[in-house]
Amino acid sequence: MVARLLLLGLLLLLSACEKQSDSGSINLNAALGGIPADGFARAVEPRPFTFPQEHAAHPEFRNEWWYITGNLQTERGRQFGYQVTFFRIALSPNSPQTVSNWATNQVWMAHIALTDVEGQKHLHDQRFARGAAGLAGQKIQPFKVWLEDWQILGQANGDFPWTVQVANTDFSLKLTLQPEKPAVLQGKQGLSQKSSEAGNASYYYSFTRLASTGSIHYQNQDFQVTGSSWLDREWSTSALGKDQAGWDWFSLQFKAGQELMFYQLHKTSGEADQAYSQGKWIAADASTRNLSLKDVELQPLQYWQATNGTQYPIVWELNYPAIKGRWRVEAVVDDQLMETSVLYWEGAVRVLDLEKNQVVGQGYLELSGY
């Protein structure tokens, strides 16, 4: 998923020029920038993926993430969106030189968010921690990714079901995730090429439909919820092209059982990147089809303006002529801006069939580089 790689790349390399949202405190991103790619492994050719081992970290690569988004609802129909993301960032390909409990070459970052559709609210938070002294890290048997008390816990053998557990002062979330479809290897057998240079690619798989049940504690109330989540797993070392400014990324789940992932890269010049914008159509029977900008049409319909004046396209028309799909993808809450160390818009969306004007799906939209 180029989108997330770009996010992280921006975070680590470019954000020195970003506006600090949390003014008055140290700009960790700026200070952490400039980690050279030398010495890290590169994604050059397709490789076999074996599960559940792939859920574990790949520390020989510079960056990696466990990216979960989902739409949930209570029995009475109250709707929520959520995001739980763990980023692993290697500062150096070499192991630390001291035996101190605190010594590490790994830094962890996590973002969490909750979207309250009824209340039209979006809450979010971020944390950093070093991958040492038990503060953050990853284990496979049993499976665990954690940053302090935010965590994903799996089974003893490393496999699903997973439990996602996060909390801050505003809300808490505890969900169990069980795949309803097998893993989808993105790109070419899991090798996702980012730009023309060899090695500028990532290894990337998704679980596009995870049955989710659990509870949300929010505004002094407990909500029992069920719904559907989406997991992206990606690891890489490569840097992206300098002419790539941002992206519009869609992960949509249709009621009829299909999923669609598509990202449209836009260049610094403002035009869409024809060569590397791509996606995947996953049919109800889990068969897949690769997509490029030749296969889909994207048209922004409506913008939302952030307080800093930036306009984010939060309503889109998405056409997929091959299956005669014409949809309107719209944010369930306008302001789902992630005011973390890097500013981006990531939020829950609903999908409407343009012909019948009915809701036919749900998903997440990510907007960056605006």
Partner 1 sequence: MLMPSLLLRSSWRFFTRHPWQLWLTLLSIALGTAVMIAVDLANHSAAQSFQQSVNTLSSPMTHELKAVHGQIPDEFYRQLRVEWGYRDSLPEVELSLSFKGLHYSLLGLDPFATSLPASSLGSLNSGVLTRLLTEANTLIAPKDSGLQVGQVLPAGEREFTVIGLADLARSDLLLADISTVQSNATGLTRIQLKLTEAEAQALQARLPPELKLESFANQQAVFGQMTGAFSTNLLAMSLLAILVGAFLVYNTMTFSVLQRRSSFAVARMLGVTAGQLFRSLLLEACVLGLIGSALGVLLGVLLGQGLLVLVTQTISDLYVSVAPTDLLITPAIALKGVGVTLAAVLLATLAPALEAARVAPVQVQRRSRLEQTNQNLSFKLVSAGLVLMLGSALLISSSGKQLVLGFVGLFMLIVGYSLLIPWVLRKLLKLLQQATAKLTHRQLLSSMALRNLEAGLSRTSLAIIALTVAVSATIGVSMMIGSFRSSVADWLNMTLPSDLYVSALSEDASRVEGSLTLVWLDRIKTLPEVASISTGLSTRLTVEGMPLPTLVLQPAAHSERGFEFLQNTPTDAWQRFEKAEGVLVSEPFAYHYNRGVGASLQLNTEAAGVLKLPILGVFRDYSATQGMLVLPRGLYERYWQDRNISSIGLTLKQGVDTPLVQQQLQAWAKDLQPVNQSLVIRSNTEIRENSLQVFDRTFAITHVLRVLVLIVAFVGVFSALMALFLEKGREFAILRSTGFTPKQVQILVLSQAALLGLLAGLFALPLGWLMSVVLIDIINQRSFGWTMHSYFFADTPLQALLLAVVAALLASLYPVRRIGQLSIREGLYGR
Residue numbers at the binding site for partner 1 (CB under 8 A): 16, 22-28, 30-35, 91-92, 94, 96-105, 107, 128-130, 132-135, 148-149
Q: Of the two residues 15 and 69, which places its CB atom closer to partner 1 in the complex?
A: 15
Rounded least distance, CB 237 to partner 1, Å: 15
Q: What is the dihedral of CA 355, 360, 364, 370, to 10 degrees?
A: 10
Q: Judged by CB, which is closer to partner 1: 128, or 254?
A: 128
Q: Which is nearer to partner 1, 13 or 191 (CB)?
A: 13
CB of 134 to partner 1, least distance (A): 4
For residue 158 the two structure tokens come to 């490393």
CB of 146 to partner 1, least distance (A): 9
CA distance 222 to 19: 36
Using CA atoms, how far residue 307 sits from 88, 121, 310, 337, 363, in Å, is 31, 16, 7, 10, 25
Considering the complex, what minimum distance in angstroms separates the CB of residue 137 from partner 1? 11
CA distances from 226 to 3, 73, 85 (A): 27, 6, 19
State which residue, 134 or 182, has the beta carbon closest to partner 1.
Answer: 134
In angstroms, give the least distance from the CB of 343 to partner 1: 18
Instruction: Rank residues 99 and 156 by Cβ distance to partner 1 and give the closer one.
Output: 99
> Under a CB-based contact definition with an 8 Å cutoff, are residues 183 and 50 in contact?
no
